[in-house]
Amino acid sequence: MQASDTIVAVSTPPGRGGIGIIRLSGPQALELAGKLLRRPNFEPEPNRVSLRVLRDPGTGEELERALVTYFQAPRSFTGEDVIEFSCHGSPVLLLQIVDALLRLGARAAEPGEFTLRALANGKLNLSQAEAIRDLIEARTTAAARQAARQMGGELSARLQPFKETLLEIIVPLESSLEFVEDDLPNVEIERLSARLSDLIRMVDELAATFRAGRLLKDGLKATLVGRPNVGKSSIFNALLKQDRAIVTDLPGTTRDALSEVINLEGIPVLLTDTAGVRESADAIERIGIERTRRAISDADLLLVVVDGSEPLTAEDQELISEVAESPHLIVANKCDLGSFSLQRLLQVVTDGVEVIAVSARTGQGLEDLRKAVLRSCSAPENSIEGLLLTNARHYDLLRRASDSLKASRKLLEESASEELVLVGLYDALRYLGQITGETTPEDVLTQIFSTFCIGK
Ligand code: GDP
C-alpha cells in the first residue's frame, strides 16, 4: 500500500442526482485543490464549507461552483488531509473535475481505498471497515442496524475480553515453560482448563449467531409452486402488497418479473412465483417449466400451494411427493370458501409437514404463513435484538479459534508440554486478531477491500 500519494474518486453513486461528491485524500490534497481553485496558498479553515469556483487547470475555464470542505489530518475519515467537493450531480461534470485532479497529479482511488487508508491510520479497525460496506449494502433496516452496531465497534468490544482471557491463560503457561523443573500442579491445570472451557463457550455462542446474521444479510429464497389456479399469483401479490422490500435484488439470484424481495421482520425474502409445474409438449411452456425446476432446486424453502376448497388432485399429490426431500411447507389456499377443509388435507399430507390455511382473497392466515416461513429458517424470534455475526469471514475465524482452543484444552488435560498447549492458544489469538485486523495478512486485506465500492 502506498500511503504517500493523493487519491481521488467520485463518492456518490453513478448517474445523475441533486449533488455529486468528489473526495480527494492524501498529503497533496490541499495543494491540488488550490491549483483547481487557482488559489496557490489555499488553506481554508478545517470543517467549514465554502463556495468556490473550480477551473480547468489547462485553460482556466470555469468548470463548476462547488461547496468545498477541508478536513485536516488527522481529523478526517482517512486520517489524511481530505477535501470534499460537493458539486452538481452531473456524471459528465464530475468526470471532468476528477480528470482535472488526475492531470494535476492525483491518482484514481481503488475500490475501498479511502477506507483502507482509514484502517492504516488507525481511524477504525477491520471489522468496522467491513461494517461500512455492509451498511451500504444492507437490504433491510434490521441489516442496516446490525452493520451500524458493528461500525460503532460493538464486535471489537465483544472480542476484547476473549483476547484478555486468552492472555490470562497464556501467561502462566509461558512462565511455567521458563521454569522447566516445575510441572504445572494439577489444581492449576484444572483452573486453566475451566477458564478455557468458559472461553470456548463464549466464542461458540458468538459464532452461533451467524446463522441468523447470515439470513439477515443474504436473505432467504422462497418459491411458490403448485398447479395452475390454486392461487400462487394471488398469494404472491398479497404478500408483496404488505411486505415489499425497498431494494429488490439479492446476491446470486436472477430476477425476472416473477421474483420480488419482501421483508419479513428484517429478513429479506426473495419470493418467486413459478409458471406452474406441469409436463408439457409446448416449447414455450417447456422453457417455463425448465425455469420452474431451476427455481425449485435453487430455493431454500418451497411453498407448495394447493386449493384447499377441493380435494387434492393427482397433480397436487405428485408435486407433494416430488418436493418431499426439499424443505417445504404446504399452503392451503382459499380458506374463505365454504368447501374449504383443512381436515381433508391433513389426512393426505405426510406427518411432520406443516400445513398453513390461508386466503389470498381475504388475507386470512397470511400472518401464520409469514411466521412459518421465518420458523422454517430458524430465524430468531426477534432478529433485531443482540449482536449478530453477519460476516462469513468473521464466522470462519471464530470457528478456527474455537477449534484451536479445543485442541489446546485436550492437550492441557492430557498433561502435554506447555509448549504444545501454547501453539493452539497463540493460533486462537491470531485468528481473533484477524477479525479486527491486527493480525490480518496483507493479501487478505487487499481481497476484502476489493469488494468495496469506489469512492468509499
Ligand atoms: P395461480 O395460477 O396458481 O397463480 O392462481 P391465481 O392466483 O391466478 O388464482 C386462480 C384463481 O383463484 C383466480 O380466479 C383467483 O381470483 C382465485 N383465488 C386465488 N386465491 C383465492 C382465495 O384465497 N380465495 C378465493 N375464493 N379465490 C382465490
Separation of alpha carbons 106 and 100, rounded Å: 9
Q: Is 230 in the pocket of ligand 1 (CB under 6 A)?
A: yes
59, 91, 125 - which closes a domain = 125
Ligand 1 centroid – CA 244 distance (Å)? 20
Residue range 263-268: mean pLDDT, rounded: 84
> Alpha-carbon Rg of the chain, whole angstroms?
29
**Which residue out of 223, 225, 229, 305 has the highest number of ligand 1 atoms within 8 Å of its CB and is therefore the one to mutate?**
229
pLDDT reported for residue 186: 85
Which of 20, 217, 25 has its CA nearest to residue 116? 25
The C-alpha angle with vertex 149 and arms to 74 and 219, in degrees rounded to 5, equals 125
Ligand 1 centroid – CA 279 distance (Å)? 21
Q: Is 369 in the pocket of ligand 1 (CB under 6 A)?
A: no
CATH of the domain at 60: 3.30.1360.120
Q: Is 234 in the pocket of ligand 1 (CB under 6 A)?
A: yes
Residue range 180-195: mean pLDDT, rounded: 85
| 13 CB-side CA count, 13 A | 5
pLDDT reported for residue 254: 43
What is the DSSP code string of 405-439? Answer: HHHHHHHHHTT--HHHHHHHHHHHHHHHHHHHTTT
Q: Is 227 in the pocket of ligand 1 (CB under 6 A)?
A: no
Which of 217, 205, 139 has its CA nearest to residue 391? 217
pLDDT reported for residue 266: 80
Residue 112 in domain: yes
User: Which is more confident, 202 or 379?
Assistant: 202
Residue range 312-324: mean pLDDT, rounded: 90
**Are 16 and 88 contained in the same domain?**
yes
User: Which is more confident, 81 or 392?
Assistant: 81
Residue 143 in domain: yes
Q: Is 237 in the pocket of ligand 1 (CB under 6 A)?
A: no
Which of 225, 263, 223 has its CA nearest to residue 243? 263
Per-residue pLDDT band for 292 (boundaries 50, 70, 90) equals low
Ligand 1 centroid – CA 329 distance (Å)? 19
pLDDT reported for residue 252: 46
pLDDT reported for residue 183: 73
CATH of the domain at 258: 3.40.50.300
Q: Is 364 in the pocket of ligand 1 (CB under 6 A)?
A: no
Has residue 135 got a pLDDT over 80? yes
Which of 285, 297, 264 has its CA nearest to residue 375? 264
Ligand 1 centroid – CA 75 distance (Å)? 61
**Are 414 and 313 contained in the same domain?**
no
Q: Is 173 in the pocket of ligand 1 (CB under 6 A)?
A: no
Coil, strand or helix at 165? helix
Has residue 1 got a pLDDT over 60? no
**Are 24 and 92 contained in the same domain?**
yes
Residue 449 in domain: no
Which atom of ligand 1 is least distant from the CA of 226? 3
Ligand 1 centroid – CA 283 distance (Å)? 26
Q: Is 337 in the pocket of ligand 1 (CB under 6 A)?
A: yes
Domain that holds residue 188: 131-209+389-437
User: Which is more confident, 97 or 181?
Assistant: 97
**Are 223 and 340 contained in the same domain?**
yes
Ligand 1 centroid – CA 234 distance (Å)? 6
pLDDT reported for residue 276: 47
CATH of the domain at 163: 1.20.120.430
Q: Is 402 in the pocket of ligand 1 (CB under 6 A)?
A: no
Has residue 323 got a pLDDT over 80? yes
Count of other CB atoms within 10 angstroms of residue 160: 13
**Are 305 and 360 contained in the same domain?**
yes
Instruction: Please report, as a single letter, which amino acid is at residue 322.
Output: E
Ligand 1 centroid – CA 334 distance (Å)? 7
Residue 301 bridge partners (DSSP):
222
**Are 257 and 340 contained in the same domain?**
yes
pLDDT reported for residue 244: 63
**Are 245 and 282 contained in the same domain?**
yes
**Are 279 and 413 contained in the same domain?**
no
Q: Is 360 in the pocket of ligand 1 (CB under 6 A)?
A: yes
Computed over every residue of the chain, the mean pLDDT equals 88
Per-residue pLDDT band for 296 (boundaries 50, 70, 90) equals confident
Give the residue, by CA position, lying nearest to ligand 1 atom 15. Answer: 231
Q: Is 278 in the pocket of ligand 1 (CB under 6 A)?
A: no
**Are 48 and 93 contained in the same domain?**
yes
Q: What is the pLDDT of residues 51-89, one digit of tens each?
A: 999 999 999 999 999 999 999 999 999 999 999 999 999
Residue 2 in domain: no
Strongest mean pLDDT among 220-224, 234-238, 364-368 = 364-368
**Are 121 and 249 contained in the same domain?**
no
pLDDT reported for residue 260: 85
pLDDT reported for residue 277: 46
Q: What is the pLDDT of residues 226-245, one digit of tens each?
A: 888 899 989 998 998 866 65
Ligand 1 centroid – CA 375 distance (Å)? 26
Q: Is 361 in the pocket of ligand 1 (CB under 6 A)?
A: yes
Give the residue, by CA position, lying nearest to ligand 1 atom 27. Answer: 334
Has residue 426 got a pLDDT over 90? yes
Rounded percentage of the chain residues whose pLDDT exceeds 70: 89
The three cell numbers of residue 86 are 460537493
Residue range 8-14: mean pLDDT, rounded: 94
**Are 108 and 175 contained in the same domain?**
no
pLDDT reported for residue 385: 58
User: Which is more confident, 125 or 241?
Assistant: 125
Number of structural domains the chain divides into = 3
Residue range 332-342: mean pLDDT, rounded: 94
**Are 64 and 40 contained in the same domain?**
yes
Residue 445 in domain: no
